[in-house]
Amino acid sequence: MAALYIILTASVIAISCGLLGSFLILRKMALVGDAISHAVLPGIVLAFLISGSRDNIPMLIGAAVLGVITTLIIEMLQKKAGMQEDASIGITFTWLFALGVILITSYTGQVDLDQECVLYGEIAYVPLDTFNLSNGLSLGPRALWISGSVLLLIIAFILKGYKGLVLTTFNKDYAASIGISTAFWQLAFMSLVSLTTVVSFESVGAILVVALLVAPPAAAYLLSQNLKKMLWLSTLFGILTAVGGYYLALVLDGSIAGAMATFAGVLFAGAWGWSKLTSKHSGTIPVTDKKNISTFF
Amino acid sequence: MDIRPDCPAIEVHNLTASYNRKPVLWDVDFALPQGKLVGIVGPNGSGKTTLLRNMMGLMKPDSGYVNLFGKSLDEVREKVSYVPQRETVDWDFPASVMDVVEMGRYRKGNLFKRLSKQDKILCTEALEKVGLLDLAKRQISQLSGGQQQRVFLARSLAQQADLYLMDEPFVGVDAATEESILALLTQMKSEGKTVVIVHHDLQTAYEYFDWIVLLNTRLVASGEKEKVFTPQLLQEAYGGRLTVLSRIGDLMAKQDFPLREKEFKEAKGTGDGKTY
Amino acid sequence: MEKLIEFISFSNPNVRFVTLGTMFIGMSAATVGCFAFLRKRALVGDAIAHAILPGIALAFMLTQSKSPWVLMGGALVAGWLAMFLIEAITKNSKLKPDTAIGLILSVFFGLGILMLTSIQHSGAGNQAGLDQFLFGKAAAITPSDLKIYIAVGLVLLALIFLFFKEFKLLSFNPDFASILGLPVKRLRFVLSSITVLAIATGIQAVGVVLMAALLITPAVAARAWTSSLKILLIIAGLFGAFSGLVGSYISFTAPQMPTGPWIVMSLSAIAIFSILFSPQRGLVAKIFRQRQNRQKILTENILKALYHLGENQKSQQNYFSKKQLLNHRKFDAAELNKGLKILAKKLWLIERETGYKLSQTGLPEAQRIVRLHRLWEMYLSERMRLKADHIHPNAETIEHIISPEIEHQLLHELDYPELDPHQKPIPY
Ligand SMILES: Nc1ncnc2c1ncn2[C@@H]1O[C@H](COP(=O)(O)OP(=O)(O)O)[C@@H](O)[C@H]1O
Ligand SMILES: [Mg+2]
């Protein structure tokens, strides 16, 4: 039963991350997502300190607001102080993360979080913290309920806002030219990303949530010609990651979250190889000449 | 040279626009006629894209304003279609040709609804007009440059607008496609549409357009092509920048100088009317 | 206070190691980080820092040794592999750099965590100490660690000194560098290697997550103070070292406090201070400059208005009241008072019961403004073909900004005109 709960919770989180991550990488904001996942830490610690528990929903939302503020700070540093994008992301999240760690160590007694948990979560403990009715009947892990609700929210948002989300992702200027507020869509989307990272935090930690946000969508992106397929594939890869990661961790007797990230990387490698193999035959025309892109220092 | 048409499709009033306080358009002021093929012509970096972005409200000018059909953009938005430069989007986006064309039918009002049958018909027709119907299901990354340009054109046609603003639609397009696009534009003109095209190639500009705006950070000329295409005006547009102008622009950026004093910024039109 | 003295006196050898160690680490990372910053690779640095983890774990698994040399070796290999993979993915797939960076960062890190936890659980060897790479172990720096940090720091500085010109070109103008025939590929290899080296040492002070700050934040802060690369490197290095000092001092006085996050906090504080208060590029200086501009515009407008009024009455000796000034031009009444006060202080105008007139020193100033205004109008109408009814608002701003050199150029280009486009005389 515990195994099932862990896999179920991990899958739900992975699907949420995969769906949002698909748009995140298409918006070229993968690293902003990375920054958010770190920057919510002080918010989570404060939420803890104020509410005394980690599952208080208003407090989770409060922590998520900090993630949204992070995106605004990053944007402001670029616009007002003329800072380049990479540096503005880099200094913002490290500063907030450092603040979070300092808060944790200052209030060790009051906060049931430790540094390891921050980095890679404690999904193995998820089944222990259950949601109980007043007559003592257990309804399953609390984390599953919370991340399940967030997943439903995300699905509803994508179904209802599909056109706006796609249009502002693909061609921002055009969207603005027909009178659509790109700022609104950006804000709504980043709020969901932020909420998801907060909710996933205790299960998979700050860095491995990035693996779930990026790896399954990246693999799906390489294999898809259209966005709907990409979203479905991200979902599928998310579930595979959860299942594969769990058993990999079992075999190696290591961290489940770490194993999930590793497994997601393996899936990506497979997808990359597969796309290389198949593109040789279909003769696609490469549009972007990437020969000159270099990411070396 | 600034010839004023009777019933203008676009009036640009005293438009000054800048990036990081450095002006790239200085007091541009002209009007364009309806039902014509208009070329906005100037060398690279002369502010053509910036001008179009200002017309579409995509950036805030430092001073001045633009009227479309005598009204502000918000009142006539559904009659105006904007075609951005092809390089501004990522063509690796997982979407089919039809997906992109359908965006032409998106409106503020139907953003949360499904497209109607009528919408879909319009999209199919638009694709047929640009000759891409057989590629409707193809992923956009697998198109050639000319085909991508035609996808944008089809999306624009699907918008069913009266005024079209297109940024460099002939860039990266082979000769045959260029001809077919031009034929299409001519046909649109004959249907009474106004088509404004940003173009940097002097060789073909005279042949393609009825009306030409010569731009180089400032307005050099606006009028019927016969009157605008004089050696002197062309020399002025293509013969380099005005050094005083660019030096002042640099100074403004460096000293954080405002481009307009407050009192002139709010006033729509030509300032307070006093002349000294 | 006692603590501070004890800290400064360096009498405690432990304090000495920790402080010197973090200072050296901070300095090396900050100096090398300037190039990463200029080449816009801040987040590649972040990814490398995370990716080093599995390298360290693997090195330990293979050798069962915790010698800093062995672990550094593993770190370097993993860092290089990560950098290579990021570039390979970006070039050979449609993924964009941000995705490739995020992917490698998180997957490598996950792999590292998996390996570390697996080692831990299997009880294979005494792994305690490996997780110090996660959070940094500044508080536990030993003399042999210190030797490594100093050696690495000196090597980095020597290489930067040696290749300064080449790295500079690589950072500011890589295309030009290859045109000049520089071995760009090899140079990038050297630069990348020393960056990975700096990261591999740096994570021992602040841990993998915060490493990006050690690399980038000093450069961001230093950039606010200078535009010269040499000075940038020096200032950034000093900021890096200083933060190391602050971090170790804080964890010395409050031992439960983590050193790494405090180093990052002090770096961030320096950066925020620099962004706000540096004299050239700082936001406060900018706001101050804008206020000065507004004041200049206001006073010059008043001078001009007085000149116009005098010109209309054909005498600059008459006095004009505030009311007349307000009628002439839509000044804000409070602003007008403020401007008049400033001008009176400068003795550029003379005040009487009945009003104001330009003084002998104020008149040439007023003439200058009017001259610039009318010259600019000439320029607009002659060179920019603006129509007479459009040129005025533009000239209203530009007159305040034209420098003497530009005025000279204008006069020269327009050939010293007598009258402006409205047929008003241009005062010389
Ligand atoms: N986003 C931007 N930020 C700063 N400068 C810009 C930006 N976009 C354009 N510019 C500058 O503005 C000038 C005009 O650009 P643009 O309008 O794109 O010219 P054109 O379309 O005629 O080639 C150029 O000098 C360009 O460098
Ligand atoms: Mg352009």
A132 in a domain, yes or no? no
CB distance B216 to ligand 1 below 6 Å = no
CB distance B253 to ligand 1 below 6 Å = no
Chain B residue numbers touching C375 (CB-CB < 8 A):
none
Rounded mean pLDDT, C291-300: 90
Would you state the torsion angle of the CA atoms of residues B49, B54, B57, B63, taken in this order, to the nearest 10 degrees?
A: 160
What was the pLDDT predicted at C405?
Answer: 86
Residue B272 — pLDDT band, cuts 50, 70, 90? Answer: very low
Neighbours, chain B (3 or more CB pairs < 8 A) = A, C
Q: Which domain holds residue A258?
A: 2-120+140-291
What was the pLDDT predicted at B261?
Answer: 56
What was the pLDDT predicted at B269?
Answer: 34
What was the pLDDT predicted at B268?
Answer: 37
Higher pLDDT, C11 or A34: A34
What was the pLDDT predicted at B263?
Answer: 44
Q: Which of A25, A106, A275 sits opposite C99 (nearest CB)?
A: A25
For residue C192, what is the nearest residue in chain A, using CA coordinates?
Answer: A297
CATH of C364-414, one of 3.40.630.30, 3.30.428.10, 3.30.110.70, 1.10.60.10: 1.10.60.10
What was the pLDDT predicted at C332?
Answer: 87
Residue B270 — pLDDT band, cuts 50, 70, 90? Answer: very low
What was the pLDDT predicted at B128?
Answer: 95
Chain B residue numbers touching A166 (CB-CB < 8 A):
95, 103
> Do B27 and C413 make contact, defined as CB atoms within 8 angstroms?
no
Domain with CATH 1.10.60.10 in chain C: 364-414
> Which secondary structure element, helix H or strand E, spans residue A26, and what is its range?
helix A2-26
Chain B residue numbers touching A180 (CB-CB < 8 A):
106, 108, 111
> Positive or negative CA dihedral for B73, B74, B77, B78?
negative
A69 in a domain, yes or no? yes
Instruction: Give the position of tokens 């075999």.
Output: A251
Chain C residue numbers touching A251 (CB-CB < 8 A):
none
Rounded mean pLDDT, A142-155: 93
Split into its structural domains, chain A has a count of 1
Superfamily of chain region B10-267? P-loop containing nucleotide triphosphate hydrolases (3.40.50.300)
What was the pLDDT predicted at A54?
Answer: 62
Rounded mean pLDDT, C221-233: 94
Domain with CATH 1.10.10.10 in chain C: 285-359
Chain C residue numbers touching B260 (CB-CB < 8 A):
393, 397
Would you state the torsion angle of the CA atoms of residues A281, A286, A291, A296, taken in this order, to the nearest 10 degrees?
A: -90
What was the pLDDT predicted at A272?
Answer: 96
Ligand 1 atom at minimum distance from B46 CA? 22
DSSP letters, C317-369, are TS-B-HHHHHHHS---HHHHHHHHHHHHHTTSEEE-SS-EEE-TTHHHHHHHH
What was the pLDDT predicted at A283?
Answer: 46
Residue B2 — pLDDT band, cuts 50, 70, 90? Answer: confident
Smallest CA separation from ligand 1 atom 21, residue: B49
> Positive or negative CA dihedral for C146, C152, C153, C154?
positive
Lowest model confidence (mean pLDDT) among A276-290, B26-40, B133-147, B180-194: A276-290
Strand partners, B249: none
What was the pLDDT predicted at B79?
Answer: 94
d(CA A215, ligand 2 centre) in Å: 36
What was the pLDDT predicted at B189?
Answer: 94
Of C251, C218, C247, which Cα lies nearest the Cα of C232?
Answer: C218
Does the structural domain C285-359 have CATH classification 1.10.10.10? yes
CB pairs under 8 A between A and C: 242
Question: How many residues are recorded in chain A?
Answer: 297
Kindly report the average pLDDT of chain B as a whole number: 88
CB distance B104 to ligand 1 below 6 Å = no
Q: Is the pLDDT of residue C1 over 70?
A: no
C191 touches chain A (CB under 8 A): yes
Q: Is the pLDDT of residue A218 over 50?
A: yes
CB distance B50 to ligand 1 below 6 Å = yes
- Min Cα–Cα distance to chain C from B168, Å: 25
What was the pLDDT predicted at C331?
Answer: 87
Ligand 1 atom at minimum distance from B200 CA? 22
Q: Is the pLDDT of residue C46 over 60?
A: yes
CB pairs under 8 A between A and B: 88
Residue A292 — pLDDT band, cuts 50, 70, 90? Answer: low
Higher pLDDT, B98 or C171: B98
Residue C420 — pLDDT band, cuts 50, 70, 90? Answer: confident
Of B110, B148, B152, which Cα lies nearest the Cα of A164?
Answer: B110
Residue C115 — pLDDT band, cuts 50, 70, 90? Answer: very high
Pocket test for ligand 1, best of B16, B19, B168 (most atoms within 8 A of CB): B19
Kindly report the average pLDDT of chain C as a whole number: 88
- Min Cα–Cα distance to chain A from C273, Å: 12
Higher pLDDT, C326 or A235: A235
Q: What percent of chain A stands above pLDDT 70? A: 94
Q: Which of C97, C102, C213 sits opposite A34 (nearest CB)?
A: C102
Nearest 5°: phi and psi at C350?
A: -115, 130
For residue A114, what is the nearest residue in chain C, using CA coordinates?
Answer: C135
Interface of B with C (CB under 8 A): 1-2, 14, 16, 26-27, 29, 63, 90, 92, 141, 218-221, 242-245, 247-248, 251-252, 255-261, 263-264, 270-272, 274-276
Q: What percent of chain B stands above pLDDT 90? A: 69
Interface of C with A in 203-262 (CB under 8 A): 209-210, 212-213, 215-217, 219-220, 256-258, 260-262
Interface of C with B (CB under 8 A): 94, 96, 286, 289-290, 293-294, 297, 308, 329-330, 373, 379-380, 383-394, 396-398, 400-403, 406, 409-410, 413, 422, 424
Nearest 5°: phi and psi at C78?
A: -65, -40
The tens digit of pLDDT for each residue in C322-361 reads: 888 998 888 888 989 999 999 999 999 998 888 898 999 9
CB distance B148 to ligand 1 below 6 Å = no
Distance between CA atoms of residues A241 and C380, nearest Å: 66
Smallest CA separation from ligand 1 atom 17, residue: B47
Rounded mean pLDDT, C373-385: 84
B139 touches chain A (CB under 8 A): yes
CB distance B45 to ligand 1 below 6 Å = yes
What was the pLDDT predicted at A249?
Answer: 94
CB distance B18 to ligand 1 below 6 Å = no
Strand partners, B30: B12
The tens digit of pLDDT for each residue in C60-78 reads: 888 888 788 888 899 999 9
Higher pLDDT, A143 or B97: B97
Which whole-number Å values give the CA distances from C34 to B63, B140, C42, C239, in the listed order? 39, 40, 9, 12
> Do C397 and B261 make contact, defined as CB atoms within 8 angstroms?
yes
Nearest 5°: phi and psi at C251?
A: -75, -15
Higher pLDDT, C201 or A21: A21
What CATH number does the domain containing A280 carry?
1.10.3470.10
Rounded mean pLDDT, A283-294: 54
Q: Which fold has domain C11-280?
A: ABC transporter involved in vitamin B12 uptake, BtuC (1.10.3470)
Q: Is the pLDDT of residue C126 over 60?
A: no
Residue B150 — pLDDT band, cuts 50, 70, 90? Answer: very high
Higher pLDDT, B250 or A149: A149
Q: Is the pLDDT of residue A98 over 90?
A: yes
- Min Cα–Cα distance to chain A from C159, Å: 15
Q: Is the pLDDT of residue A293 over 70?
A: no
ipTM of the complex: 0.94
What was the pLDDT predicted at A280?
Answer: 63
Strand, helix or coil at B13? Answer: strand
Rounded mean pLDDT, A230-257: 95
Distance between CA atoms of residues C61 and C359, nearest Å: 87
Rounded mean pLDDT, C307-317: 88
Q: Is the pLDDT of residue B242 over 50?
A: yes
Q: Where are the alpha helices (DSSP H) in chain B?
A: 48-55, 73-76, 97-102, 117-129, 145-158, 175-190, 202-208, 225-228, 231-238, 243-254, 262-266
Question: How many residues are recorded in chain B?
Answer: 276
The ligand whose atoms approach the alpha carbon of B171 most closely is 2
Which whole-number Å values give the CA distances from A105 to A115, A197, B58, C73, C121, in the listed order? 9, 22, 47, 32, 25
What was the pLDDT predicted at C380?
Answer: 83
